[in-house]
Amino acid sequence: MSDTERVALAFSGGLDTTVCVPLLEEEYGYDEVIGVTVDVGQPTPEFEEAEETAETLDLEHYVVDAKAEFAELCFDAVRANASYQGYPLGTALARPVIAEAILEVATEQGCSGLAHGSTGKGNDQLRFEAVWRDSDLEVIAPVRELGLTREFEQEYARERGLPIEGGDEGKYSIDTNLWSRSIEGSELEEPGYVPSEDIYEWTEAPTAETEEIEVGFEDGYPVSLNGEAIEPVELIETLNELAGGYGVGRSDIMEDRMLGLKVRENYEHPAATVLLNAHSALEDLVLTKEERAFKKQIDHEWSEKGYQGLVNAPLVDALEGFIEKTQKRVAGTVTIRFEGGQARPVGRESKYAVYSAEAASFNTEDVTGSIEQDDATGVAKYHGFQERLANRVIENNEE
């Protein structure tokens, strides 16, 4: 049995995680650091950077493919119409998946500690640690605990001869996964700054061109594109490219973080926008008024827990009981039109549609169920009766 103390570090090869490697040995007394990079759909260059930096640091490095697990969670989010303050959840959903994968590697490799490079001002520290603190391993956050600044880290990297390319990621802080791409920092921190087109990679500036696609659903899950069955990861990647070409899926918001800080965030999320819009349109067709109204409350609570990185909370499990019941009828197709940077539902069909064209039409008198226009006369007399009575009482007593 080895007495070597090992710590598993969430490793990206960027500035924060690069300087964390020697700090975990020098400041925290660990004998060995292993790096774990989890694939949730980042661009290939990010993995190349992580591999190169790990090699330069002589760091034992593991890469875990978790794209399928992440896509599954994203589709759970679709069923819950999950968004936070107006944009689809993305980074928030990825963090628990990444944290679980790192914990698994750490356990397999006999680590006694887990570490991340998150700062003390963001959300990610909370999302990682919500998963990790359920284990017996020590949880370490060097950047937060040592009060490190970006300038200190850059100087530290230069003094120690660390791979400086691992500490120079450009002017913006960018996080990318299958479901979304976030851009923040530099001029974007100013609420009044109008960003240029160069901050976007997934989306083109909207044009007058249009295109229509058809998304199929079963049990509330997206399962097909234009009539062809397609796996979750491929569907997301396909829609990101297709919808992004029409400028679909941009958000520029002032976001309230969990620690109470208000920050300016820019996001790209073409596939998420398409699937959430399509799913919502199908729910509008198949669910009753009361179900739709109540599910908004369910969806809000699911989204809040998702934003917090607490997708495994007992509350979420209970919420999904209601979601599961309603989604049995969320089956059918939705036609989406890309137009002016929007993904607009323009048609929907389902065998569970709570809709009768015959009953709703202005051109029919008698329909199945024996509903006639004149039947509404009694309803019209009672509608507003109490309000009219109350107004008369008030007027009489004010005279």
Number of compact structural domains in the chain: 3
**Residue 124 known to bind ligand:** yes
Q: Is 173 annotated as a binding residue?
A: yes
Asked if residue 280 and residue 166 are part of one domain, the reply reads no
327-359 pLDDT, tens digit per residue, is 999 999 999 999 999 999 999 999 999 987 666
* Catalytic residue (one of 6, 76, 83, 95): 95
Domain assignment present for 337: yes
Task: Indicate the residue among 128, 155, 175 that finishes a domain.
Answer: 175
Choose the final residue of a domain: 141, 175, 209.
Answer: 175
The answer to whether residues 16 and 103 belong to one domain is: yes
pLDDT on residue 146? 95
Residue 364 has what pLDDT?
60
Helix (H), strand (E), coil (C) string for 131-189: HHCCCCCEEECHHHHCCCCHHHHHHHHHHHCCCHHHHCCCCCEEEECCCCEEEECHHHH
Positions in the chain short of pLDDT 50: 1, 166-168
Domain match, 225 and 330 both: yes
- The answer to whether the CB of 179 falls within 8 A of the CB of 70 is yes
pLDDT given at position 168: 46
Q: Which residues pair with 129 in a beta bridge?
A: none
Q: Is 271 annotated as a binding residue?
A: no
pLDDT given for residue 4 in this prediction? 80
Q: Known catalytic residue: 135?
A: no
The sign of the CA dihedral 182, 186, 189, 193 is negative
Q: Which of 159, 175, 191 is the last residue of a domain?
A: 175
Query: Is the same domain home to 162 and 184?
Result: no
**How is residue 248 annotated by DSSP?**
-
Which CATH number characterizes residue 157's domain? 3.40.50.620
If asked whether residues 169 and 28 sit together in one domain, one would say: yes
Give every CB contact of residue 274 below 8 A, 6+ residues apart in sequence.
Answer: 213, 215, 239, 243, 248, 249, 336, 343
Query: Are 170 and 188 members of one domain?
Result: no
Domain containing residue 138: 6-175
Pairing mode, if any, of strands 173-176 and 211-218? unpaired
Annotated catalytic, 16?
yes
Claim to verify: residue 132 and residue 12 sit in the same structural domain? yes
Type of residue numbered 390:
A
Q: Are residues 324 and 375 in the same domain?
A: no
User: Does 123 belong to an annotated binding site?
Assistant: yes
399 occurs within a structural domain: no
Query: If you search the block for the tokens 């917090």, which residue do you land on?
Result: 308
Instruction: Please tell me which residue in 76, 79, 118, 124 is annotated as part of the active site.
Output: 124
What is the pLDDT at residue 57? 93
- Given 39, 112, 150, 173, which residue is catalytic? 173
Q: Is residue 49 part of a domain?
A: yes
Q: Tell whether 358 is covered by a domain.
A: no
Judgement on whether residues 149 and 257 belong to the same structural domain of the protein:
no
Let me know if residue 354 belongs to a domain: no
- In this predicted structure, what is the pLDDT of residue 163? 85
Residue 307 is predicted with a pLDDT of: 97
96 occurs within a structural domain: yes
pTM: 0.91
Indicate if 192 and 167 belong to the same structural domain: no
